[in-house]
Amino acid sequence: MSATRPLILSPGPHLHSVESTSRIMWWVNGSLAPAVAWGAFVFGPRVLLTILGSIAGAVVAESLAARMLRRPASVGDGSAVCTGLLLSLTLPPLVPWWIAFLGGAFGILLGKMIFGGLGFNLFNPAMVGRAFLMASFPLPMTAGWAAPRPWFGAPLDAVTTPTPLTTLREHGLSAAMQSLSGHGGPWNSLLMGFRSGSIGEVSMVLIALGAAVMLVRGIIRLTIPLSVMAGLAAVTAFSGAPGLHLLSGGLWLGAFYIATDYVTSPSTQGGRIAFGLLVGVLTGVIRMFGGYPEGICYAVLLGNAMVPAFNLWFRPHRRVLAGSPS
């Protein structure tokens, strides 16, 4: 008689994949390279200091927090780099590097490590960092815009230049479209990125290129991004400028890179749709009726707070066949 083999029980997950947190994070970071390069091209190489400052703040904060909590170093998984990189791409080009450093550090400490580290945070750390900078340094965060350089190597115009959404809010649609009249017309300026705006959000084409890489890799799905855009389109449909709202500001960066964060977005299909719609609707409401011309940052944070509820409301129901135990 053969020996009885022991029954081994272990907690999940029981499905394994070749992908890991580290591989996913570094693929996300790499997919943002075109947007980073374009930001340096149109706003000058000085923005690289801002980007590096934000990343350094995030990495230093995570390293110190891990040491204080007596945990293994987690910087190598790329998540802190991703937080700092995403934060920097949402900042105005003229923001000093040390402000970006503080934002990256605050986002990691108060948006991630205080909850227990990666996988436990409720709010997106990059958006926590940006909200902190908006509250602490309102002048450089609202007046640090610059016009894109007319050609490579030209000096950066350090004179404050309103973003299209700011111009739309203060002077109307015609003035906003007039501000985009150069570089082949307004729609070309919006799509390609020849306009004022944050460092890495200005080129819709390059953000879409990076998002396509993540889609091919299976890192993200279109559910949340399309829901975000649908929610914003619904709110701005009768504003007279729905196209400008859909192609301006940080909508695409927020929809594809920030709202799709695994940890701070719902885990069910229905929850993802509801979450994306909420983020899009709140973005539109803030833009049209709130105190800021942009709204994706606060919309994502408010949506993050609703994720536990969405996971509960849209949890899958087990089908019970007739005659089977319930």
Structure tokens belonging to residue 96: 């000093």
In this structure, the answer to whether residues 119 and 242 fall within a common structural domain is no
180 occurs within a structural domain: no
Burial environment of residue 1 by CB neighbours within 10 A (0 to 12, 13 to 18, 19 or more): exposed
Q: Write the single-letter amino acid at 210.
A: G
In this structure, the answer to whether residues 30 and 138 fall within a common structural domain is yes
In this structure, the answer to whether residues 36 and 149 fall within a common structural domain is yes
Mean pLDDT over each residue of the chain, to the nearest integer: 87
In this structure, the answer to whether residues 157 and 264 fall within a common structural domain is no
Alpha helices in 112-163 (DSSP H): 125-136, 138-143
55 occurs within a structural domain: yes
6 occurs within a structural domain: no
178 occurs within a structural domain: no
* Closest-CA residue to 236 (of 276, 287, 190, 277): 287
In this structure, the answer to whether residues 238 and 126 fall within a common structural domain is no
84 occurs within a structural domain: yes
Spatial separation of the C-alpha atoms in residues 116 and 125, rounded to whole Å: 13
Note the pLDDT tens digit of each residue in 56-79. Answer: 999 999 999 988 888 877 788 899
Q: What is the DSSP string of 75-119?
A: GGGSHHHHHHHHHHHTS-TT--HHHHHHHHHHHHHHHTGGGTSTT
Note whether 165 and 294 are within 8 A (CB): yes
In this structure, the answer to whether residues 145 and 231 fall within a common structural domain is no
Boundary of a domain, candidates 146, 171, 203? 203
Domain range spanning residue 242?
220-312
Structure tokens belonging to residue 182: 């150069």
Boundary of a domain, candidates 203, 231, 255? 203
Handedness of CA 273, 90, 84, 135 (dihedral sign): negative
Helix (H) or strand (E) holding 56: helix 47-68
Note whether 64 and 71 are within 8 A (CB): no
Note whether 160 and 143 are within 8 A (CB): yes
In this structure, the answer to whether residues 130 and 235 fall within a common structural domain is no
In this structure, the answer to whether residues 51 and 135 fall within a common structural domain is yes
pLDDT class of 282 with cuts at 50, 70, 90 = very high
Q: What is the DSSP string of 178-218?
A: HHT-TTT-HHHHHHHT-SSS-TTTS-HHHHHHHHHHHHHHT
The tally of CA atoms less than 13 A away on the side-chain side of residue 228 is: 28
Spatial separation of the C-alpha atoms in residues 107 and 54, rounded to whole Å: 10
Note the pLDDT tens digit of each residue in 230-259. Answer: 999 999 998 888 988 998 889 999 999 999
In this structure, the answer to whether residues 37 and 122 fall within a common structural domain is yes
In this structure, the answer to whether residues 115 and 226 fall within a common structural domain is no
- The stretch 102-123 carries a mean pLDDT of 92
184 occurs within a structural domain: no
Boundary of a domain, candidates 153, 174, 203? 203
97 occurs within a structural domain: yes
In this structure, the answer to whether residues 147 and 224 fall within a common structural domain is no
Please give the share of the chain, as a percent, with pLDDT higher than 90.
Answer: 58
pLDDT greater at residue 211 or residue 45: 211
209 occurs within a structural domain: no
Residue 234 has a pLDDT of: 96
Domains held by the chain: number: 2
In this structure, the answer to whether residues 227 and 149 fall within a common structural domain is no
- For the chain, give percent helix, strand, coil, nearest 5: 60, 0, 40
